[in-house]
Amino acid sequence: MRILVCKNYDEMSKKAAQMILSQVTLKPDSILGLATGSTPIGMYKNLIDMYKNRIIDFSEVKTFNLDEYYKLPVDNDQSYHYFMDDNLFNHININRENINIPNGMAENIEEECIRYDEKIKKSNGIDIQVLGIGRNAHIGFNEPTVNFEKRTYVVELQESTRMANSRFFNSLDEVPKKAITMGTGSIFESKKIMLLASGKEKAKAIYDTIHGKITPEVPASILQLHNDVVVILDEEAASLLDTKEYKSL
Site string for ligand GLP, 56-95 (x = CB under 6 A): ----------xx----------------------------
Euclidean distance between CA atoms 43 and 58, whole angstroms: 15
Site string for ligand GLP, 198-237 (x = CB under 6 A): ----------------------------------------
Closer by beta carbon to ligand GLP, 38 or else 59? 38
Catalytic residue among 65, 117, 138, 189: 138
What is the separation of C-alpha 213 from the centre of its chain, rounded to a whole number of angstroms? 22
Euclidean distance between CA atoms 97 and 117, whole angstroms: 17
Strands 62-65 vs 31-34: parallel, antiparallel or unpaired: parallel
Considering only residues 125-154, where is the footprint of ligand GLP by CB under 6 A? 132-134, 140-141
Catalytic residue among 11, 46, 67, 235: 67
Does position 161 interact with ligand GLP (CB under 6 A)? The reply is: yes
Question: Cα–Cα distances in Å, from 176 out to 55, 128, 136, 223, 231?
Answer: 38, 28, 18, 27, 29
Binding-site member from 13, 23, 36, 152 for ligand GLP (CB under 6 A): 36
Catalytic residue among 46, 87, 136, 165: 136
Euclidean distance between CA atoms 64 and 119, whole angstroms: 9
Give least dist CB 41 to ligand GLP, A: 8
Decide if 143 is catalytic.
yes
Closer by beta carbon to ligand GLP, 161 or else 186? 161
Euclidean distance between CA atoms 176 and 16, whole angstroms: 29
Euclidean distance between CA atoms 13 and 34, whole angstroms: 14
- What single string gives the DSSP state of each residue in 148-207? ---S-EEEEPPHHHHHHHGGGSSSGGGS-SEEEE--HHHHHTSSEEEEEE-SGGGHHHHH
Binding-site member from 35, 109, 220, 238 for ligand GLP (CB under 6 A): 35
Closer by beta carbon to ligand GLP, 30 or else 165? 165
Closer by beta carbon to ligand GLP, 57 or else 175? 175
Beta bridge partners of 231: 3, 195
Binding-site member from 165, 184, 190, 209 for ligand GLP (CB under 6 A): 165
Q: Residues interacting with ligand GLP, by CB under 6 A?
A: 35-39, 66-67, 132-134, 140-141, 161, 165
Supply the residues annotated as catalytic.
67, 136, 138, 143
